[in-house]
Amino acid sequence: MDRTLVPGFEVNTFSIVARCERTGMLGVCQATHAYAVGARCPWVRAGIGAVATQAVTDPRLGRLAINLLELGYSASRALAEVEASDPHFAHRQVGIVDRDGNSAAQTGAANKDWAGHIVDRNFVAMGNFLISARTAEAMAESFRKTEDLELDERLLRAVEAGRDAGGQHKGQRSAALVVYHREIFPWVDLRVDAHDEPVAELRRIFTLFQGVKEYMTVRVPNPEMPQPPDA
C-alpha cells in the first residue's frame, strides 16, 4: 500500500546515524511523530555500517543497504544502489555510515519542509517535516562536540539537542536508540513506542540500563557470573 495516499498519514522523523572513530561502534538514534520508530527505521550491523530509513519508510531499503555495505560497498555507492532500486525514492529519506566512517544521505524531493540532511565524516544528521533546519544543525553540533563520550550517549544527546531546537511538527511519539559494538547482537537497543515525551522517556530508560549494559554482553561467555543488583 502506498501510504502517501492515506488521508492524514504523517511521516516525520529526525535521526542521527553515526560511527565512533575511537571504538568503531555504529549506531542510530531517532525520534518521530509516528509510533514504534525502532521497529522499521534503524538498521545496524557490527563492523559493517549503520543506516536510517525514514519519511515514507520502506524497511526493505535498510536491509538492502546493510547487505551492500557487508559486500564492501561504500556508503555513497550503497546509497546509489538503494535509490536505483526504488521507483518511489522521492518519498524516502535515507542516511548511511559505513565501517570506515564514510557517510552519505539523500532526502527525496517529495519530503515536506523542512527536510534535509547534514553529512560529515562518521555521521549523518537528518530529518523531514521539521520545524526548521535548526533541528538537524543542533544534532550535528552536539555530535561534533562530544567525541570523548561513548557513542550511545553521543547519539542520545544529539537527538535531545534536535528536540530542544524545535523537533518536528506535531511533536514526537516514539524514539529509538540502537548501537552495535563487536558482537552480532546490540550493545544497546532501547525503544519507546508510544509516549507523549518519548525522548525524555528514552533518556530515563537509558539511565536505568547503564547499570547492566556491560554485564549483558560480558555474561554471554560467562553464564555463572553473579548478577548485578539491578539485573
Q: What is the pLDDT of residue 5?
A: 38
Distance, CA of 146 to chain centre: 17
The pLDDT, as a whole number, for residue 180 is 98
Q: Classify each residue of 144-166 as buried b or exposed e, where b means 16 or more C-beta atoms within 10 Å of its C-beta.
A: eebeeebbbbbbbbbbbbbbebb
Q: Which of 111, 143, 108, 109 is nearest to 124 (CA)?
A: 143
Residue 168 DSSP label? B
Q: What pLDDT, on a 0 to 100 scale, did the predictor assign at position 133?
A: 97
The amino acid present at 1, given as its one-letter code, is M
**Domains of the chain: residue spans and CATH:** 7-218 (3.60.20.10)
pLDDT at 211: 81
pLDDT tens, N- to C-terminus, the chain (231 residues): 344 433 334 468 999 999 999 999 999 999 999 999 999 999 999 999 999 999 999 999 999 999 999 999 999 999 999 999 999 999 999 999 999 999 999 999 999 999 999 999 999 999 999 999 999 999 999 999 999 999 999 999 999 999 999 999 889 999 999 999 999 999 999 999 999 999 999 999 999 999 888 777 777 777 877 776 665
Largest CA distance in the chain: 54
Percentages helix, strand, coil for the chain (3-state, rounded to 5) are 30, 25, 40
* Closest by Cα among 24, 31, 16 to 45: 24
Taking the CB of residue 8, how many other CB atoms lie within 10 A of it?
A: 4
